[in-house]
Amino acid sequence: MTKTILITGASSGLGAEMARQFAALGHDLALCARRLDRLEELRAEITAARPDRRVEVRELDVTDDDAVAAVFSDLAGTFGHLDRVVVNAGLGKGAPLGTGKHHANRQTAVTNFLGALAQTDAALEVFRAQGAGHLVMISSMAAMRGMPGATTTYAATKAGVAHLAEGVRAEVHGTPIKVTVLYPGFIASEMNDGTGGNPPMLVSTEKGVRAMVAAIEKEKDSACVPPLPWAPLSVVMKHAPMPLFRKLV
């Protein structure tokens, strides 16, 4: 069954690959990002390969609350409905706290949490009006436990958005509105380019997103992706004694 899927942060990385894979599964797309030129290129690529798919693109900065509400409403009106919204836009920058680089941490916090809050609010307004919908929140394995160094703020934002989505699930339980939270591990993307070598267990964008899309299509409540090794590692990350945890991270 064809669904209309809105994806933010769709101009590159995981968002762009999700768009390609959802189109291959027969879904129509509403793609949002700050870089409209990249979205236009992606639309041309997808429609050339899948001429039967409908792809709409909109420029969007998710830190602009009014723009988020307006764009989501506009796309819902353009398609007549939105079956699924993937809250994907985010930043990975940051610095250890207390090192004089608050601006970088604040930018990540505003984009990753307040931006996700605005997107969730706008998505739920559409879904409530429709009486149905599927909210997908892209968190991170870093959300499993507070992380040290430059990742501290990023991890905190990803824990925050996971709890935000879980709260929505508790509220809409028993209704046709569904919620999925994904915890990606190390998946190659533009966000982690240039971070000083490949982290262990890194998988390609295509492979990692294939696991993400599979979990989304099944409307799982939550999933670590890819499942191996990240599902068992999530238990270790949550419960390992601090000396062992520090060696792992």
What amino acid positions are annotated as catalytic residues? 154
Tokens of 182: 């994904």
Whether the CB-CB separation of 108 and 153 falls below 8 Å is answered with yes
Rounded CA separation 131/175 (Å): 8
Q: What is the widest separation between alpha-carbon atoms in the chain?
A: 54
Whether the CB-CB separation of 73 and 122 falls below 8 Å is answered with yes
What is the rounded end-to-end Cα distance, in angstroms, of the chain?
Answer: 42
Whether the CB-CB separation of 55 and 29 falls below 8 Å is answered with yes
> What is the layout of strands, in order, in the sheet containing 222-225?
55-59, 28-33, 4-8, 84-87, 133-138, 177-184, 222-225
b/e burial code for range 43-60 (CB count within 10 A of at least 16 → b): beebeeebeebbbbbbeb
Rounded CA separation 217/18 (Å): 11
